[in-house]
A and B are shown apart, each in its own frame.
Chain A
Amino acid sequence: MSKNAIIAGLAAFVIAALFPFWFNLGGTDAAPEPELSAKAKAAGKCVLDKYDMRANHMSLLDEWRDAVVRDADRKYDAANGKQFQMSLSTGEDSCLGCHEDKEKFCDKCHTYASVDPYCWECHTTPKEINQ
């Protein structure tokens, strides 16, 4: 009696636990490539190299925000010799100053990876304001 119930329960658990695998059976979409704006292409170099940025941009932003808000430091001299305004969304040499199109740059991967950073609850994009 209880044996059957236990086996049924275990089976249900295994199926539920493997949800991500069977849900995505039949192929998933390929990872999207973020589109660089003309300005970003022309600049050539970002704060860190491409792969480092991809992996660590969130920790960099975290570091920047503490530097700006708490230490009043706003200028960033990157290891590669370039200078930046430590800001996500304000000014020419901020992140969005160069990567002008948030939808094509940020959102592409964020949407694919199902991450929903709350940056945009406060930080504005030029496009959004003009809408």
Chain B
Amino acid sequence: MKKSRRSFLKAAGVSALGIGVAPAIQAVASSGSTPAALAAKTKHPEALTAHRWGMVIDTSKITDEVAENIVHACRKAHNVPDLNHEPDPEKYPKTRPVNHNQEVKWIWEEHFESAFPDKEDEFLAERFKELPFLVTCNHCKNAPCVQACPTQATFKREDGIVLMDFHRCIGCRFCMAACPFGSRSFNFRDPRPFIEEINPDFPTRSKGVVEKCNLCAERLAKGLQPACADVSEGAIVVGDLEDPNSEVRELLNEKYSIRRKQELGTEPSVYYIM
């Protein structure tokens, strides 16, 4: 009796496994024969491409006003929530109070000593002490966040952009611990009540996922410059770092530039002309 019960349980276990595996086998076997497989997925002809996207920020051209416009344009383009925004009580009744330390930002202003803590200097030229420095994701060549992510929700695209797949992110926040630039934000709550005006051209996020600058991948795909570069009055230039004739390379060739925390070897793709 005992023996047969045991073998029954074994058989049941094996068949349960079979039921679990069957759909996977079916899916593999059937792919390639559907009409969907005859279709072609391509880039739009007008899409901007690069071997490795990079950004050059001319710090002398960034005034408080320009910086503000840039931050605002980015928020608007990507539906980045602003916790200072008062939620519409009709649409979102009973919104709980906000913890401002749980904010979300993609590009924002910092002082020199925060943007470049390793270059802090008491005798630094006065004008740098007051200048707004815009900081964002550096789209590092050796990105620690990509290495840390356990699901490849954060990954590096062939063209150098470090991207997030919001569908796949489990919200473990390992990437936030890994990023040496504090460039990542977590959606501690549903962001929608805190978006002033939803932009239909870009999805919002759900609670529980990490987000950060995507170098306007969705705009590059349409042949548009990133939103920040667009409104920067020439202060931000985005282009191909591996093309010696690109505008970014010409700028870097002409002027002295620095990158954030170069000593860590993550190879940031964002350059600051001093």
Closest to A86 in B: B41
Interface assignment of A129: CB less than 8 Å from any CB of chain B: yes
User: Residue A124 contacts which of B44, B159, B198, B221 (CB distance < 8 angstroms)?
Assistant: B198
Q: Cβ of A126 and Cβ of B200 under 8 Å apart?
A: yes
In the bound assembly, the distance between CA atoms of A70 and B217 in angstroms comes to 11
Within 8 A of A (CB), among B154-179: 155, 157, 159, 163, 165-167
Q: Cβ of B203 and Cβ of A77 under 8 Å apart?
A: no
In the bound assembly, the distance between CA atoms of A123 and B203 in angstroms comes to 5
Q: Interface range on chain A: under 10, 10 to 19, 20 to 34, or 35 or more?
A: 35 or more
User: Residue A76 contacts which of B34, B39, B157, B202 (CB distance < 8 angstroms)?
Assistant: B39
The 8 A CB mask of B199-221 against A (1 = contact, 0 = none) is: 01111111000000000011001
Q: Cβ of B35 and Cβ of A48 under 8 Å apart?
A: yes
Q: Cβ of B38 and Cβ of A69 under 8 Å apart?
A: no
Residue in A90, A118, A122 with the greatest tally of chain B CB atoms within 10 Å: A122
Q: Cβ of B200 and Cβ of A89 under 8 Å apart?
A: yes
Q: Cβ of B36 and Cβ of A60 under 8 Å apart?
A: yes
In the bound assembly, the distance between CA atoms of A126 and B202 in angstroms comes to 12
Chain B residues with a Cβ under 8 A of chain A: 34-36, 38-44, 47, 91, 155, 157, 159, 163, 165-167, 190, 198, 200-206, 217-218, 221
Closest to B201 in A: A90
29 contacts across the A-B interface (CB closer than 8 A): A48-B36, A52-B34, A52-B35, A56-B36, A65-B167, A67-B41, A70-B155, A70-B165, A72-B217, A72-B221, A73-B43, A74-B221, A75-B44, A76-B39, A77-B40, A77-B41, A77-B42, A79-B36, A86-B41, A89-B200, A90-B201, A91-B201, A118-B206, A121-B204, A121-B206, A122-B166, A122-B206, A124-B203, A129-B198
Within 8 A of B (CB), among A40-82: 47-49, 52, 56, 59-60, 63, 65, 67, 69-80
